[in-house]
Chain A
Amino acid sequence: MDIILNHGDLLLALAVIFGLFMAWGVGANDVANAMGTSVGSKAITVKQAIIIAIIFEFAGAFLAGGEVTATIRKGILDSALFSENPQLLVYGMLASLLAAGFWLLIASSLGWPVSTTHSIVGAIVGFGAVGVGIDAVAWGKVGNIAMSWIVSPILAGTIAFVLFRSLQNLIIDTANPFDNAKKYVPYYMFLVGFVISLVTIFKGLKHIGLSFPTDTSYYLAIGFGVLVASVGTIIIRRINIDPDENEDFYFTSMERVFSVLMVITAAAMAFAHGSNDVANAIGPLAAIYAVIESGGIIGSKSALPIWILLIGGGGIVFGLITYGHKVIATVGTGITQLTPSRGFAATLAAASTVVISSGTGLPVSTTQVLVGAVLGVGLARGMAALDTRVINKIFLSWIITLPAGALMSILFFFALKGAFSPL
C-alpha cells in the first residue's frame, strides 16, 4: 500500500511512457499489415493509406477501443487475488508492457512475424501465473481469448468467401460487369457503414459516456450506412467506362469502381484495427491507473478515463507519422496479384470480424484475421497463388510469442518488484 502512495506518480508516469511506446509500435508496425491489402490492390496510394489510417485508427481507438481495453485491464487476471498486494498488479502490468515492447523489438529485428496482441496477452498471463500464482489467471477468459485466435481467422475467411461469391455472381461474372458494379457497389458500401457503426454504437461508445437505446442504435447505424453509400454513389457516378482500357482485359473499368469502394473499406479496416489493437498499449496502463487512482483498492468500479483512450489513439498516430509510411510501402509493394475486387472482399471480411471482436472484448490479431480473409477469397478460386506456408508461420508465431512474452514479463516483474519493494 505504501508503495502505491509513495511512488504512485512515478509508477503512473512509467506506465504512460511504456504505454505510449507500445501504441507507437502498433502505429509504426502493425498498421502496415492492416493497410497491406488496400495498398497492395493499388486502389489507394501509400500516402492516402497514411491519411486514412491516421484518421480512422484514431477514431477506432477512441470510439470503439474500450471493450478490449477492459478485457486486457481486468479480464485476464482475477483481480480479487491482488487486493492484498495491489502493487503487484502495477509491477506486473508495467512488466507486461516492457516485455511485449522488447519482444516486438527483438522479433522484428530478427525478421520474425509476431503479433502485438499475443505478446501482451502472453506477458500478462505469464507474470500472473508465475509471479503471483496459477489461480491469479482467469483461465476461462484466457481460454476464450485463445479460442478467438483460432475462430477469428476462420470466421473472416468464411465471410470473405461468401462476400466474394456474391460479388462474382452479382457483378464480375455477368454480361456487364461495369454497369453491375455501379449498381451494386453502393449496397456493399452501406454494409460497411452499417456493420462498423452498429458494433461501435452498441459496444464502444459507452466507454466515452454515450449510450443509446437499441432501436435508436439501429436507426443511427442505418443512417450512417446510408450516408456512406450516398457519398460513395456520388463518387461512383463520376466513373465512366473507357472501352479502350478493356480491350486487353475485360474488367479494367469494373475494377476502378471497386477502387472507390476500397477507400471506404480501408477506412473500416483502420477503424477496426485501432479499436482492437489500442488495448494492447492502454489496457495495462488503464489497469495501473485504476489501482493508483483508487489508492490501492482493487476492483473499485472506476471507469476508463477518456485521456487514456486519447493516449492510445495519439500514440498510434504518432507511430504512423514517424515510421508507418516506410513499413506500409514495404508491405504494399510485394503484393502484385491482388485486384481491388479481391482486396475489397478480404478487407471488409477482416474489418467486420475485427470490429465484432472489439465489440465482444476479444483481443485478436488483425494480421492473422486478414490472412484468414485472403485465404477465404482463395478458396472461392479468386486468387492466383497463395502461399500456405504462412499458416505454419502463424502457428510458429503463437508457439514462440506466447512463452517469450510470458518469460520476459516474469523477468521484468521480479526486477520491478525487487527495485520498488525490497524485502
Chain B
Amino acid sequence: MAKSIIDGLFGKSPIRPLQQHMTRAHSCIKQLNDIMIAMQKQDWDAGEKIRTNISKNEQEADVLKKKLRMGLPSTFMMPFSRRDLLDLLLIQDSIANISKDVSGLICNRKMIFPKEISKDVVELTKYCVKTSSKALKAINELDELLETAFGDRERKRVGNIIKEINNLESKTDSIQHKIRKKLFPLESTLPAVDVVFYYRAIELLGELADSAQKVGSRLEVLLAK
C-alpha cells in the first residue's frame, strides 16, 4: 500500500517527549530534598539508595533526550525554531546532570555541613526544587500553548509562571549569598578540603536554580518567535 502524502505530512510532535524529559529531569532534582534529609540523619545507606536512583533517572532522561533529537529532522516545520527547542532540551538535561553531581558529591564524601549553615543548605535545596517544579509547570503548558497557536492570552499565563520562576531563582541567590557570608568566618576552623567542597556544593545548587531559570527564559524565547 502506498504511503499517502497526507500521512507523510504529519511528523511526530516533539512536545510530549520534551515534557517527558523535563518530568524526568525534575524527578532527579526533587530527590535532592531526600538526600538532605538522609544527610541530616547521617543515614548514608538511604543516601546511597537515593543517589543510585537519581543516577538511574538521569540516564533515563539521557535516553529521552537522544530519542527526541533523533526524531527531529531539520525539515520539520514547527511553531518554534528547532534550534530553540534543542537548546531548551539541553538546559533541561543539565538539571538532571547537575542533580546527579550534587548527589554524588554529598554521598561520596559523606558530607556534613557545619551546623551554622546546615539549615540554610537544606532551605537552598528546597528552593532549587521549587524553581525547577515551576519550570516543569511552564513546560507542561506547552500543549495548551500549541492548542491556542501561541495566542497572547495563553502566552501571558506562561509569562506569569516564568516570572514566578525568576522570583524563586533570586531567592536562591540570596540564600546562597547568606550561606557564603556565614561560611567565610568559619573557614579557618574547618578542614580546608571540606571547605572547598562546601563551596562546590553550594555552587552546584546555585547552578541548578540557574538551569531551572534558563528553562523558563528559553521557553520565553521559544514562544516569542
Question: Hey, which bits of chain A sit against chain B, CB under 8 A?
Answer: 32-33, 36-37, 40, 107-113, 164-165, 168-169, 172-175, 249-251, 326-327, 330-331, 334-339, 341, 367-368, 370-371, 374-375, 378-390, 393-394, 397
Residues in A neighbouring B2, C-beta threshold 8 A: 107-113
Residues in A neighbouring B149, C-beta threshold 8 A: 164-165, 168, 172-173, 380-382
Residues in A neighbouring B73, C-beta threshold 8 A: 387, 389
Q: If A40-B10, A174-B153 touch, does A250 touch B144 (CB 8 Å cutoff)?
A: yes
Could you give 10 example pairs across A and B, Cβ below 8 Å? Answer: A107-B2, A334-B10, A335-B6, A374-B6, A375-B77, A381-B149, A386-B78, A388-B77, A390-B9, A393-B8
- Which residue on chain B has the smallest CB distance to residue A335? B10
B152 and A367 contact, CB distance less than 8 A: no
B52 at the interface (CB under 8 A from A): no
B189 at the interface (CB under 8 A from A): no
State in angstroms the CA–CA spacing of A250 and B72 once bound together: 27
A385 and B77 contact, CB distance less than 8 A: yes
B146 at the interface (CB under 8 A from A): yes
CB distance from B193 to the nearest CB of A (A): 50
Query: What is the total number of residues of chain B having a CB less than 8 Å from a CB of chain A?
Result: 34
- Which residue on chain A has the smallest CB distance to residue B3? A111
A387 and B147 contact, CB distance less than 8 A: no
Partner pick for B153 among A108, A173, A335, CB 8 A cutoff: A173
A374 and B151 contact, CB distance less than 8 A: no
State in angstroms the CA–CA spacing of A109 and B1 once bound together: 6
B4 at the interface (CB under 8 A from A): yes
State in angstroms the CA–CA spacing of A83 and B213 once bound together: 79
Residues in B neighbouring A368, C-beta threshold 8 A: 5
CB distance from B9 to the nearest CB of A (A): 5
B197 at the interface (CB under 8 A from A): no
CB distance from B80 to the nearest CB of A (A): 8
Q: If A172-B147, A250-B144, A380-B149 touch, does A385 touch B14 (CB 8 Å cutoff)?
A: yes
Q: Report the tally of A-B residue pairs with Cβ distances under 8 A.
A: 144
Residues in A neighbouring B48, C-beta threshold 8 A: none
Residues in B neighbouring A36, C-beta threshold 8 A: 4, 6-7
Partner pick for B152 among A173, A250, A371, CB 8 A cutoff: A173
Q: Other than the known A165-B149, A339-B147, A385-B11, what 13 A-B pairs have Cβ atoms closer than 8 Å? A: A113-B4, A173-B148, A173-B153, A251-B147, A331-B4, A336-B13, A370-B6, A371-B5, A379-B77, A384-B78, A384-B146, A387-B73, A390-B5
Residues in B neighbouring A330, C-beta threshold 8 A: 1, 4, 7
A249 and B10 contact, CB distance less than 8 A: no
Residues in A neighbouring B75, C-beta threshold 8 A: 387-389
Binary per-residue interface labels of chain B (2-38) against chain A in the complex, 1 for a CB within 8 Å, 0 otherwise: 1111111111111100000000000000000000000
A393 and B4 contact, CB distance less than 8 A: no
B87 at the interface (CB under 8 A from A): no
Partner pick for A371 among B1, B6, B72, CB 8 A cutoff: B6
- Which residue on chain B has the smallest CB distance to residue A370? B6
B79 at the interface (CB under 8 A from A): yes
B6 and A168 contact, CB distance less than 8 A: no
State in angstroms the CA–CA spacing of A108 and B5 once bound together: 12
Please list the 3 inter-chain residue pairs (A to B) with the smallest Cβ-Cβ separation, ordered nearest first: A173-B151, A384-B13, A381-B79
- Which residue on chain B has the smallest CB distance to residue A394? B5
B143 at the interface (CB under 8 A from A): yes
State in angstroms the CA–CA spacing of A385 and B10 once bound together: 7
Residues in B neighbouring A374, C-beta threshold 8 A: 6, 9-10
CB distance from A155 to the nearest CB of B (A): 18
Partner pick for A387 among B11, B146, B152, CB 8 A cutoff: B11
Residues in A neighbouring B1, C-beta threshold 8 A: 108, 111, 326-327, 330
State in angstroms the CA–CA spacing of A128 and B207 once bound together: 73
Residues in B neighbouring A40, C-beta threshold 8 A: 6, 10
B44 at the interface (CB under 8 A from A): no
A251 and B10 contact, CB distance less than 8 A: no
Residues in B neighbouring A165, C-beta threshold 8 A: 149
Residues in B neighbouring A387, C-beta threshold 8 A: 8-11, 73, 75-77
